[in-house]
Amino acid sequence: MLLYSMLHLSGYALSLDDIKNFRQMGSLTPGHPEFRHTPGVETTTGPLGQGFANAVGMAYAAKLLAQEFPEQAHLLDHRIYALAGDGDLMEGISAEAAQLAGHWGLGNLVVIYDSNGISIEGDTMLAWSEDAAARFRACGWHVQEIDGHDFDAIERAISAARDELSMPSIVIAKTRIAKGSPSKEGSADSHGAPLGADEVKKSKQNIGCSDEGFCVPARVYELFSERKKELEAVAREWSEKFNAALKGEAAAKWRAFFSAPDVKALTPKLPLFKAGEKVATRSAGGKMLEALFREMPNIVGGSADLGPSNKSFVKGYGESGKGKVGRNIHFGIREHAMGAIQNGIAYYGGFLPYSATFFVFVDYMRPPVRLAALAGLQAIYVYTHDSLFVGEDGPTHQPVEHLAAVRAIPNLTVLRPADAEETREAWLAALANTAGPTALLLTRQDIPVLDRAGADGVENLQRGAYIVHNPDKAPAIVILASGSEVHISVEAAKKLTAEGIPARVVSFPSWELFEKQDASYRDRVPGPAGTRRAVVETGLAMGWERYAGEGALCITMERFGESAPADRLAEKYGFTAANIVALVKKHLGRG
């Protein structure tokens, strides 16, 4: 409500009626601010701590943008402000993000911490006795502590924070929740529940306001509108200076930063692979990134300390470090902050951010992935080591339920390419998806580039599923597979066909893209009703009945794996051509 009321007063298209409609169906004032829903809302917040880390991402983006445009840098010198509460600071993500902001020296970031010592259950002392100031000092922040009800102190502190350019600033403002309320001031009772008519009336009297409901005194509107006029002049002047300073090559570069990726132009720039070549899709993904860094000046990202494994670091384009930002970002071992900082970069605009880790650790960053999907941010996740075939690291590192879990997030496009060629297409799909995030699931192990002669072309990955192997006769079995299980399925299909059981293999990298196809395509690829089908995937069968039908043969993982070399695991858990052949025969009653 603080944000909504400030937007209303500042002249955004948010009326007093919108404010009265707080939290009502279809209103512009939903329970928590939602990006793209309410004018002036710059980030979707609500899950505590996310906004704090978003602000760190925005500050990173602002600093990097100025670095990328050195001639205009003197004009790209704005600050990023964030308001945070006790809840934000209690959440671990704020500690991760604060460490990074301090390390990077984000002097353009100013956090104002409403330190009222109250959360839902009562005094924060119930569960928190950390010295927040000491924490932020330890992380390399400029720390000020003030009385948050002293307007002069607030002004002085913000001014000092603005002047501090070598490190991020936090203003710890000691406040009283529900200040002025005769019986609720300083009490957890005021956190979420309405104060009640009588208490509101008395509170307003106490702070010198009219007790009329939803009343904004005319002099308040006047004050804001005068200030708006002054600031409009400042903005105009800035725009004129900026447009004058942005000439020639820099102007073209700026346009490239602030427009959607030109997928058509990028397509021929990405590397190709030959059928039969053995390539881990994580390595193919690394090659795509190298090409994209060359072609797209605004692609930025990095890993949570797994760069060499994720193949996500691109040499020669600068990197983050102590007191510096760069296009390659070292997030350290902080998946949660990584996801939310990535969101902050996406919110800021101008950059296309990616992040990388092992697929199993998506669990450590699920909240920001969900928020990217909700907010419709273009963010790309490079999740390598995507299956049981991680091998020796064992069950802690082998995803099982993760495919089902990421497929369950609305507006997240999940892509599990079957080979290096599909990896190129998957990257193109991610670049084309400007309406939400995309997860690329890539293998640790080498897998062959498929021979698609006589089958559908690899560009059909864009349709979510397509036929990679088709027998001459009508198929007796259609095998649906994704990622590294596709080539094993093709090998099995060839054997089955040779034995008189014509078998089709459908590479099924993306449920979400497949859902967007017309009904005739969706019917054609998995075969007409009555077709016998099998699913081969190193994840839960859960959900596959949608495409395979009830009663399909499922060669899937319904339990945790174990630590062993990948080929031994393939044998034991049945992901071999021989096992697929045997089980299909049995399933069809032909064994």
Ligand X SMILES: Cc1ncc(C[n+]2csc(CCOP(=O)(O)OP(=O)(O)O)c2C)c(N)n1
Catalytic amino acids?
Answer: 335
- Closest distance of CB 389 from ligand X, Å: 34
3-state SS string over 121-143? CEEHHHCCCCCHHHHHHHCCCEE
The answer to the question of residue 51 lying near ligand X (CB under 6 A) is no
Least Å distance, CB 191 to ligand X, is 4
CB 121, min distance to ligand X, A? 8
Identify which of residues 191 and 324 has a Cβ nearer to ligand X in the complex.
Answer: 191
Comparing CB distances to ligand X, the nearer of 287 and 336 is 336
Least distance in angstroms from the C-beta of 381 to ligand X: 21
44 touching ligand X, by CB under 6 A: no
Closer CB to ligand X, 177 or 493, in the complex:
177
Read off the tokens for 201: 């009336």
Considering only 46, 196, 349, 457, the residue that binds ligand X (CB under 6 A) is: 46
Inter-CA distances, 429 with 332, 421, 518, 591, Å: 28, 13, 18, 41
The CB-of-32 to ligand X minimum distance in angstroms stands at: 8
Q: Which is nearer to ligand X, 85 or 464 (CB)?
A: 85
Q: Looking at 63-71, 118-126, 257-265, 390-398, which segment touches ligand X (CB under 6 A)?
A: 118-126
Cβ proximity to ligand X, 87 vs 394, nearer residue: 87
The nearer residue to ligand X, 176 or 324, going by C-beta atoms, is 176
- Quick check: 62 binds ligand X (CB under 6 A)? no
Closer to ligand X by Cβ: residue 47 or 376? 47
Q: Are strands 278-280 and 446-448 parallel, antiparallel or unpaired?
A: antiparallel
User: How many residues bind ligand X, per CB under 6 A?
Assistant: 15
CB contact at 8 A, 176 and 207: no
**194: number of Cβ within 10 Å:** 8
Inter-helix orientation angle 50-68/335-348, to 10°: 60
| SS3 of 451-511 | CCCCCCCHHHHHHCCEEEECCCCCCCEEEEECCCHHHHHHHHHHHHHHCCCCEEEEECCCH
| Nearer Cβ to ligand X (127/272) | 127
In angstroms, give the least distance from the CB of 431 to ligand X: 31
Residue carrying the six token digits 């990097």: 64
Q: Write down the least CB distance from residue 177 to ligand X, Å.
A: 5
Binding of ligand X by 85 (CB under 6 A): yes
Quote the least distance from Cβ 361 to ligand X, whole Å. Answer: 19
Binds ligand X by CB under 6 A, chosen from 7, 62, 97, 118? 118
Tell me which stretch binds ligand X (CB under 6 A): 7-15, 79-87, 467-475, 529-537. Answer: 79-87
Which region, judged by CB under 6 A, interacts with ligand X, from 81-89, 237-245, 295-303, 443-451? 81-89
For ligand X, the closer of residues 137 and 191 by Cβ is 191
For residues 188 and 8, give the distance between their C-alpha atoms in angstroms, rounded to a whole number: 27
Binding mask 161-200 for ligand X (x = CB under 6 A): ----------------x-------------x---------
Contact at 8 Å (CB) between 49 and 92?
yes
Contact region with ligand X (CB under 6 A), list: 114-122, 536-544, 551-559, 573-581: 114-122
**Which conformational region is residue 355 in: left (phi greater than 0), alpha (psi within -120 to 50 degrees), or beta?**
beta
Could you tell me which residues are beta bridge partners of residue 415? 440
- As a whole number of angstroms, the distance between CA 456 and CA 505 comes to 11
C-alpha span between 64 and 61 (Å, rounded): 5
Q: Which stretch binds ligand X (CB under 6 A): 56-64, 113-121, 236-244, 494-502?
A: 113-121
The total of other beta-carbon atoms located within 10 Å of residue 93's CB is 27
Please select the residue that binds ligand X; options are 5, 22, 42, 47, rule is CB under 6 A: 47
CA pair distance 554, 545, nearest whole angstrom = 9
DSSP E strand stretches across 163-202: 169-174
Rule CB under 6 A: choose which of 116, 303, 342, 497 binds ligand X: 116
CA max distance for the chain: 89
Instruction: Give, in degrees to the nearest 5, the angle at Cα 100 between 99 and 105.
Output: 105
Choices 84-92, 222-230, 241-249, 402-410; region in contact with ligand X by CB under 6 A: 84-92
Of the candidates 48, 338, 440, 461, which one interacts with ligand X according to CB under 6 A?
Answer: 48
| Closest distance to ligand X from the beta carbon of 47 (Å) | 4
Q: How far is the CB of 270 from ligand X (least distance, A)?
A: 39
Residue of the chain from 87, 332, 376, 543 that contacts ligand X (CB under 6 A): 87
Question: Which amino acid is it at 361?
Answer: F
* Residue 74: alpha-carbon gap to chain centroid: 30
DSSP per-residue letters across 315-354: TTS-B-BTTB--SEEE--S-HHHHHHHHHHHHHH-S-EEE
Distance CA 49, CA 91 (A): 6
Binding of ligand X by 448 (CB under 6 A): no
Stretch that binds ligand X, among 103-111, 112-120, 280-288, 504-512 (CB under 6 A): 112-120
Would you tell me which residues interact with ligand X (CB under 6 A)? 46-48, 85-88, 91, 114, 116, 118-120, 177, 191
